[in-house]
Amino acid sequence: MRERPADDPALPSTAGRPWWAANELLAFLLELAALGCLFGWGFSLADNLAVRSLLGCAVLAAAVVLWALFAAPRARFRPPLAGVLAVKALVLGGGAFALYGIGHPTAAVVMGAVVVVNTALAETFRGRPAPAA
């Protein structure tokens, strides 16, 4: 696996861009929340504790692998933007649907809305150069 240089455009600098940095932190927290919701949904699908645990871990593992391969900043494969956004929609949107599936419809709608705004802002910020020092 190749190492990426420190000035890799996939990992832009936060210097002079506090709103971008705050949005990236929110994106990370949303990713963690989506993974937790997906685990909880998988865990809720069965009655037997062993099966529940297996399903929760399987759903979580599938989401983590999908994210790591295609959507993470240092993803193994880098599809075009539409592909990255599709994976993000599947995992983050899946987290919101999972939240709905375990009985929290209002929180699911809020999470979905925050994901959409956060992703739109992230792509907007990525398209702008950092201010000159």
For 49, the domain range is: 18-126
Residue 132 lies in a domain: no
Residue 130's pLDDT is: 58
Asked if the structure places residue 2 within a domain, the reply is no
In a domain, 7, yes or no: no
At 131 the pLDDT is 59
- Is 84 domain-assigned? yes
Selected residue with higher pLDDT from 3 and 40: 40
At 27 the pLDDT is 94
- pLDDT score recorded for residue 18: 83
Question: 104: burial class by Cβ within 10 Å (0-12, 13-18, 19+)?
Answer: middle
131: in domain = no
Torsion of CA 21, 115, 65, 44, to 10 degrees: 130
The proportion of the chain whose per-residue pLDDT surpasses 90, expressed as a percent, equals 70
pLDDT in tens, 74-97: 889 989 989 999 999 999 999 999
- Domain count within the chain: 1
Q: Does any domain span residue 8?
A: no
Q: Is residue 3 part of a domain?
A: no
Q: Would 90 be classed as within a structural domain?
A: yes
Per-residue pLDDT averaged across 109-133, rounded? 82
